[in-house]
């Protein structure tokens, strides 16, 4: 029997839904890697990424609404394109039917979808505008599109937000090894599930085990308290179009990183898996400097990772150090994202301000 804690039912639904979705994305990503050798796939192809986004949003939204009918959902997709494209709708329906058959033991927890109309309706539950009051979920079905297409890192990310505060986060990382030492050194079980509940803690378990695993059977994770530049590791995105790598290099220099070793101390990963590596104590700093003054981050790209890092003993803020505010709508009304262990966070913010002033 599970130990009572806040959001017990919400955690079970989120974990089982993310597990079902992660199995689907793993199959899709592996298929892409096999077929991409004959050509280049992009999100504009209306192919595997698009099909996966629609299928996952339908599955996870249905799981939430089946259990918490009054909850709202902030999602990326709506069903208009599916309604107008019969071939795409067929692919999504077939993919959902396949994964539901393979994971039929999950139906009691997350339900199932059996018709195109149910799929369209479920996708459209993701139309919430968010806000500072009430309760809603933030979903990113496939976070890290380019990593997904490369067969590299991507994640299924789901968070629960109450009155503007992230209170629960679950991240499924199908291709993430348990141990990340550097860009080239990964080891251990591949496929991780990272969960956090506000006031309860952050936890790791293997992603591809069957069913719901209660927290007492998961591994509690926490950040280290490194502050010496020789010990610090930084996680950054792979894509230079997502954050300013040149500015981030200057910040690392400002913090005292050795030019001879800074490359080995920097780990490049797509998606919110960066938060997972940070929360599990395998890195100390996450830098995401804005590439323009006008760009604003989407809340679904950071909500789950935010609570994961806080509950692991870390701190998250914008480039000024101010905590991220998830109650301003579908985007964050701030610039950039900085996360770090609490020991080094103030120094990182000082360095960011110095370099970007």
What DSSP letter does each residue of 181-192 carry, written as one string? -SSS-EEEEEEE
pLDDT at 49: 85
143 appears as a binding residue in the annotation: yes
Rounded (10°) CA dihedral 249, 302, 119, 14:
130
Got the DSSP string for 228-239? Answer: STTT--EEE-S-
Start-end of CATH 3.40.190.80 domains in the chain: 234-356
Rounded to whole angstroms, how far apart are CA atoms 174 and 27? 10
Q: What confidence score (pLDDT) does residue 2 get?
A: 62
Crossing angle, helix 345-356 and helix 245-254, to 10 degrees? 120
Q: What is the pTM (predicted TM-score) of this model?
A: 0.95
Task: Encode pLDDT of 90-116 as tens digits.
Answer: 999 999 999 999 999 999 999 999 999
What integer pLDDT is reported at residue 46 of this predicted model? 47
Structure-token pair, residue 348: 């990182």
Q: What pLDDT shows up at residue 37?
A: 57
314 sits in which H/E element = strand 314-317
What pLDDT, in 10s, does the model give residues 269-285? Answer: 999 999 999 999 999 99
Contacts 24+ apart (CB under 8 A), 176-182: 176/273, 176/276, 176/277, 178/204, 179/282, 180/267, 180/269, 180/277, 180/282, 180/283, 181/282, 182/264, 182/267
CA distances from residue 46 to 85, 190, 220, 248 in whole angstroms, order as listed? 10, 28, 39, 34
Task: Please report the pLDDT score of residue 43 as a whole number.
Answer: 47
Residue-wise pLDDT for 161-181, tens only, equals 999 999 999 999 999 999 999
| pLDDT score for 41 | 47
Establish whether 78 is an annotated binding residue.
Answer: no
HSE-up (13 A, CA, CB side) for residue 200: 21
301 annotated as ligand-binding: yes
Contacts of 46 (CB under 8 A, 6+ apart): 85, 88
140 is in an annotated binding site: yes
Distance CA 280, CA 233 (A): 13
Architecture of domain 7-220: 2-Layer Sandwich (3.30)
Query: Which positions are catalytic?
Result: 53, 145
The CATH label, of 3.40.350.10, 3.40.190.80, 3.10.450.50, 3.40.50.720, for the domain at 234-356 is 3.40.190.80
Phi, psi of 270 (to 5 degrees): -80, 155
- Spans in the chain with pLDDT lower than 50: 1, 40-44, 46
């Amino acid at each position: 029997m599970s130990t009572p804690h806040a959001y017990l039912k919400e955690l079970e639904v989120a974990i089982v839904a993310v597990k079902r979705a992660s199995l689907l994305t793993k199959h899709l990503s592996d298929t892409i890697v096999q077929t991409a050798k004959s050509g280049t796939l992009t999100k504009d192809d209306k192919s595997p990424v698009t099909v996966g986004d629609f299928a996952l949003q339908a599955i996870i939204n249905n799981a939430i609404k089946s259990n918490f009918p009054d909850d709202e959902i902030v999602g990326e997709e709506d069903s208009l394109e599916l309604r107008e494209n019969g071939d795409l709708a067929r692919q999504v329906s077939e993919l959902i039917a396949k994964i539901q058959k393979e994971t039929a033991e999950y139906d009691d927890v997350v339900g199932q979808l059996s018709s195109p109309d149910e799929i369209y309706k479920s996708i459209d539950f993701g139309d919430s505008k968010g806000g500072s009051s009430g309760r809603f979920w933030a979903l990113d079905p496939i976070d890290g599109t380019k990593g997904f297409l490369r067969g590299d890192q991507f994640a299924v990310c789901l968070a629960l937000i109450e009155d503007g505060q992230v209170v629960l986060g679950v991240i499924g990382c199908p291709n993430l090894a348990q141990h990340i030492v550097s860009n080239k050194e990964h080891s251990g079980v591949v496929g991780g599930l990272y969960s956090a509940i506000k006031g309860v803690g952050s936890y790791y378990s293997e992603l591809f085990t069957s069913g719901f695993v209660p927290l007492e059977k998961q591994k509690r994770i926490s950040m280290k308290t490194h502050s010496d530049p020789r010990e610090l590791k930084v996680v950054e995105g792979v894509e230079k179009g997502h954050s300013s790598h040149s500015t981030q290099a200057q910040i690392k220099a400002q913090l005292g990183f050795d030019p001879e070793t800074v490359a080995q101390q920097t780990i490049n990963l797509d998606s919110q898996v960066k938060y997972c590596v940070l929360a599990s104590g395998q890195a100390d700093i996450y830098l995401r400097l804005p590439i323009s003054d006008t760009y604003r981050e989407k809340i679904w790209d950071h909500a789950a990772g935010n609570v994961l890092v806080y509950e692991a003993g870390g701190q998250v803020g914008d480039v000024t150090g101010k905590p991220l505010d998830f109650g301003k709508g579908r985007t964050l009304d701030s610039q950039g994202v900085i996360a770090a262990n609490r020991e080094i966070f103030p120094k990182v913010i000082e360095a960011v301000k110095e370099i970007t002033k």
